[in-house]
Structure 1
Amino acid sequence: MKCTVFSAMLRGPRNRQEDCLLSGTDLFQKDTLKQTKTLDTDFLAASVCDGLGGHDNGESASRFVCEQLQARFREGPFDPQNIRTVLAEIQAAAQGR
């Protein structure tokens, strides 16, 4: 399947970008972003991970979750019904760090 993905982000009032974006196979954590990319793929990963609104290491937390999702999507598609299980596994991995 061919699809065109548009990704955009803009840093809010914080001094650093705390949010992280997974778009297709790309991971972004930039102050500003406008990108269009055409993909030929059987499945598409997309996620926005919020950076915890100014808490310490919010940018690290959001990036960790996006990286974990990216790794799982690289293994292949998973049943959307299992997203709660996947997120629980990511949360457990974060707590074990």
Structure 2
Amino acid sequence: MSTPLNSTKTTAAFFAQSAIAFGVSFLGLLFGICYLPLDMWQRLFLAMAGLFLVSSTFGLAKTVRDMQEASTVRVRIDEARIDRLLNEHDPLRTFTAASS
């Protein structure tokens, strides 16, 4: 029994829009850090917070994607097949048959 692949692919336009929005917002953050009238330690704090925000955003996006991917029917069917195979497999059955 074959299961249809129901993969949802993003369009090139959506990918481009997302990449441009990320680039513009990151450049805006860097511009603000460089040109705000702040002391050096305040600039470094904002830079550290900005880099942490960017890295945690990527981590959150990956987690959300993985959770959504794990809930698809295809993945659940594959997990059920693997569970069935593991339950049917008895490693001692072949050993006891060979020793008799």
Fold equivalence (TM over 0.5): no
Q: Which structure has more helix as a fraction of its residues?
A: 2
More contact order relative to length (CA 8 Å, sep ≥ 6): 1
TM-score (norm 2): 0.30
Larger radius of gyration: 2
Q: Which structure has more strand as a fraction of its residues?
A: 1
